[in-house]
């Protein structure tokens, strides 16, 4: 029987379904290989790298004088990021320092006077006691000489009455008595002076006590002045806003000239040493996860490099897949948000905002594999 030729339209109607069937079969095979060849002990997820955020804020209120950093700039811990105007505070610091310097000088002088008094007073007392003893010895001799002169006068008077001596001998004895009496009076005055000197010297310990009280009072006043200086110095230091951690500036909130309240944030930073990947895991895989599982993070910028991470947080409720997240199965609509903290960020090559893929290993016997999407 001769072959019946097939018309061109009919041939097309036969080929198109065949090609479509082949495409469907090939797609099914690829899909099977894509989904079923992936080991059960590894879970794929993706998301964006984020970091713990910190706020750099001023401890005191004031007007912003300078902001030294821009968004995206890397900073070190303790680095000055911004400063507030400090004219009034600096004036108070100078005034407090002058007060401290004046009190230090007064205290130094009082301490020197106290040291001198503590050395001189014992010597003065000993000298006064020796002077009084000497004055009393002189008085005793003067009294003895006066008594002898008085006895001589009585004897001369008796001899004159008997006619044994001439009148001038008696008169000479009386003149000598008068001189000895004057010596005794002078010696008595010397004793009185020495007693007053000793009394004054013995007041020295009381003066030492007063000087000690003065030194103690000045020391207390100086301590208060130094505390005041430390306080205004602390306020002056607080006018410099420093980075709480090493990281990258993500938001510059305040600009020069703006008046900020105490505690108001000036800048936001992300700690580059504590980055994490916010990854979304399909709901069908969530039962395999637990905190502490190891993971590896992959980014397009370093295709041959994997960054070790640890599963730290698993959301308690599912959510719809965020629009910016591409899952390996577009039919998966419910996902769980997880946090995978990077074990390290060498040379700070990773920064917040970078999209990344993650492989979470829930079976330690399964070897690691890089994502294949």
Instruction: Sort 286 into a burial class: Cβ within 10 Å, 0-12 / 13-18 / 19+.
Output: middle
Q: Which of 2-16, 39-53, 57-71, 244-258 has the lowest mean pLDDT?
A: 2-16
In Å, what is the CA distance from 39 to each residue of 22, 288, 362, 363? 28, 13, 10, 10
* pLDDT of residue 352 exceeding 90: no
pLDDT at res. 331: 43
Query: Mean pLDDT across the stretch 341-366?
Result: 91
Q: List helix spans (H) across the chain.
A: 8-36, 87-162, 167-202, 204-238
132: confidence class by pLDDT, cuts 50, 70, 90:
confident
Reduced to 3 states (helix: H, G, I; strand: E, B; else coil), residue 91 is helix
pLDDT at res. 262: 87
Reduced to 3 states (helix: H, G, I; strand: E, B; else coil), residue 253 is coil
The percent of residues in the chain predicted with pLDDT above 90, rounded, is: 32
Q: Which two tokens stand for residue 7?
A: 């018309």
> Which residue has tokens 């905190």?
291
117: confidence class by pLDDT, cuts 50, 70, 90:
confident
d(CA 231, CA 149): 82
Interstrand relation of 307-314 and 247-252 (parallel, antiparallel or unpaired): unpaired
For residue 47, give the nearest of 368, 360, 361 by alpha carbon. Answer: 360
d(CA 302, CA 37): 25
Domain ranges of the chain: 90-235
Q: Which of 69-73, 104-108, 197-201, 339-343 has the lowest mean pLDDT?
A: 197-201
Q: In CATH, what is the architecture of 90-235? A: Orthogonal Bundle (1.10)
pLDDT at res. 295: 95
Q: Which of 97-111, 116-130, 225-239, 277-291 has the lowest mean pLDDT?
A: 116-130
* pLDDT of residue 35 exceeding 70: no
Q: Which of 173-182, 199-208, 215-224 has the lowest mean pLDDT?
A: 199-208
Reduced to 3 states (helix: H, G, I; strand: E, B; else coil), residue 295 is strand
> Which residue has tokens 């020391």?
219
Average pLDDT over all residues of the chain: 83
């Amino acid at each position: 029987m001769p072959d019946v030729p097939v018309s061109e339209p009919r041939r097309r109607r036969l080929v198109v379904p065949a090609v479509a069937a082949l495409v469907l079969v090939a797609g099914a095979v690829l899909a099977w290989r894509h989904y079923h060849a992936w080991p059960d002990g590894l879970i794929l997820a993706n998301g964006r790298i984020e970091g713990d955020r910190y706020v750099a804020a001023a401890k005191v209120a004031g007007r912003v004088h300078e902001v030294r950093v821009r968004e995206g700039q890397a900073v070190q811990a303790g680095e000055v990021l911004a400063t507030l105007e400090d004219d009034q505070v600096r004036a108070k610091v100078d005034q407090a320092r002058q007060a401290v310097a004046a009190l230090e000088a007064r205290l130094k002088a009082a301490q020197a006077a106290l040291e001198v008094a503590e050395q001189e007073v014992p010597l003065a007392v000993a000298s006064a006691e020796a002077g009084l003893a000497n004055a009393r010895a002189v008085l005793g001799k003067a009294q003895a000489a006066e008594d002898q002169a008085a006895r001589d006068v009585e004897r001369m008077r008796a001899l004159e009455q008997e006619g044994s001596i001439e009148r001038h001998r008696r008169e000479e004895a009386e003149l000598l008595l008068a001189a000895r009496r004057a010596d005794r009076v002078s010696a008595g005055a010397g004793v009185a002076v020495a007693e007053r000197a000793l009394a004054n010297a013995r007041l020295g310990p009381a003066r030492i006590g007063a000087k000690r009280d003065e030194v103690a009072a000045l020391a207390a006043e100086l301590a208060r002045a130094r505390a005041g200086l430390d306080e205004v110095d602390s306020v002056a230091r607080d006018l410099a806003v420093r980075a709480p951690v090493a990281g990258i500036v993500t938001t510059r909130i305040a600009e020069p000239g703006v008046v900020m309240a105490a505690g108001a944030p000036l800048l936001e930073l992300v700690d580059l040493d504590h980055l994490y990947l916010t990854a979304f895991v399909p709901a069908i895989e969530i039962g395999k996860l637990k905190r502490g599982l190891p993971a590896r993070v992959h980014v397009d910028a370093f295709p041959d490099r994997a960054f070790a991470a640890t599963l730290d947080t698993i959301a308690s409720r599912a959510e719809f897949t965020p629009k910016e997240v591409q899952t390996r199965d577009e039919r998966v609509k419910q996902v769980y948000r997880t946090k995978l903290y990077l074990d390290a960020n060498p040379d700070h090559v990773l920064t917040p905002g970078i999209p990344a893929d993650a492989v979470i290993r829930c079976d330690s016997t399964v070897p690691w594999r890089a994502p294949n999407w």
